[in-house]
Amino acid sequence: MNFIHDSAKIGENTTVGHFSVVEKNVVIGNNVTIGNRVSILAGTIIHDGVTIDDGAVVGKHPKVAKTSTMKLSGSLPALEIGNETAIGANVVLYQGATLGKQCLVADLATIRENVEIGDLVIIGRNVTVENHVKIGERSKIQSNSYLTAYTTLEDRVFIAPCVTTTNDNYMGRTEERFDKIKGATIKRGARVGGASIILPGITIAEETFVAAGALVTKDTEASKLIKGIPAKVVKDVPENELLSNQ
């Protein structure tokens, strides 16, 4: 048995699986498929052709600890999911996030509040996207990667599995850190190899290639391949790999 609030609006040819909850003022478009045991919380907006697999929590309200550096202020806008986006099993999407059209959010991923995701983005299995993150269109974030708060990815960025971004050089100590918390800025077409670590506030320039396992401690140069601990320039990215030649 499902619970669907009387104020919820559900479009044509939309199906809702067993034991699912649709709260008040939810808007669901046409041709949407909602799996079993899905919770769609108040005010969420789901556009046409979206699929949501079993066990997903959609529109979750954020909570913060008293000691957290992140504070909630004012009300958040509704979670909005663009046309034909696919949400995997047991995904958690928070209120205040916006997902573009034809995205894929794989099983077990979490996307926090105040996140903007462009069209045709892939968020891999078990990826965590923290709050105040922007992800440009056609970017790909592969399994088990971590995008910390205040990180920006421009269009067509590739993040390989198990990449870690960071945003706090003081690691939770001293009041000075509050004004300096900043994630990475990863520019258009950059590629970051598996298990790399990017330190706070670093800018990865356009078309940079970060080799697997690198520790990125300073801003990079455009179209350079870097590797190592700490990462250093090795050579230019081959011309045939640049976006302009695809």
For residue 82, tell me if it sits in a domain. Answer: yes
Q: Are 153 and 186 in contact (CB under 8 A)?
A: yes
87-97 pLDDT per residue, tens: 999 999 999 99
Low-confidence ranges of the chain (pLDDT < 70): 69-70, 73
Same domain, 123 and 5: yes
- Domain membership of residue 71 (yes or no) is no
Assess if residue 47 is contained within a domain: yes
What CATH number has the domain bearing residue 161?
A: 2.160.10.10
What value does the CA radius of gyration of the chain take, rounded to a whole number of Å? Answer: 19
Number of domains forming the structure of the chain: 2
Residues 3 and 90 in one domain: yes
2/114 same-domain check = yes
Amino acid (one-letter) located at 88: G
Is 69 a member of any domain? Answer: no
Domain that holds residue 83: 1-61+77-129
Q: Has residue 7 been placed in a domain? A: yes
Shared domain check, 82 and 23: yes
pLDDT at 170: 83
* Secondary structure letter of residue 45 according to DSSP: E
Q: Is there a contact between 187 and 206 (Cβ–Cβ < 8 Å)?
A: yes
Instruction: Let me know: does 228 contact 214? Beta carbons within 8 Å.
Output: yes
Q: What is the pLDDT of residue 73?
A: 67
